[in-house]
Amino acid sequence: MSPFAYILSLPVKAYRLVFSPWVGWHCRYQPTCSAYALEALEKHGAIKGGWLALRRIARCNRWGRCGYDPVPERRNRIL
């Protein structure tokens, strides 16, 4: 994980440690948004992983979908 991605992962880890036990396990998606964010930051780095995490959190609402939503695999670019 890049240093910037690690810095972005700290609030997610704090949420999982402090607030997640109070909120409960009522997640609409599998994996949970916090697990998704950590995996996206690890796979895709700070910019794209952060964007994927923000999009996922925005989709997690009363009128959104639910179910299995994995982090997309990283594409290999040929230069």
Looking at per-residue pLDDT, the higher value among 9 and 20 belongs to 9
Inside any domain, residue 33:
yes
Q: What is the mean pLDDT of residues 42-71?
A: 90
Report how many domains make up the chain: 1
Q: What is the mean pLDDT of the chain?
A: 88
pLDDT at residue 63, rounded to an integer: 85
**pTM (predicted TM-score):** 0.86
**CA-wise closest residue to 41 among 14, 70, 68, 9:** 9
Residue 47 has pLDDT above 80, yes or no: yes
pLDDT confidence of residue 49: 94
Position 64 in a domain: yes
What secondary structure letter does DSSP report for 61?
S
Q: What domain range includes position 47?
A: 3-68
| Domain annotation covers residue 75 | no
pLDDT reported for residue 40: 95
Dist CA 41 CA 53 (whole Å): 8
Burial of residue 28 (CB within 10 Å: 0-12, 13-18, 19+) is middle
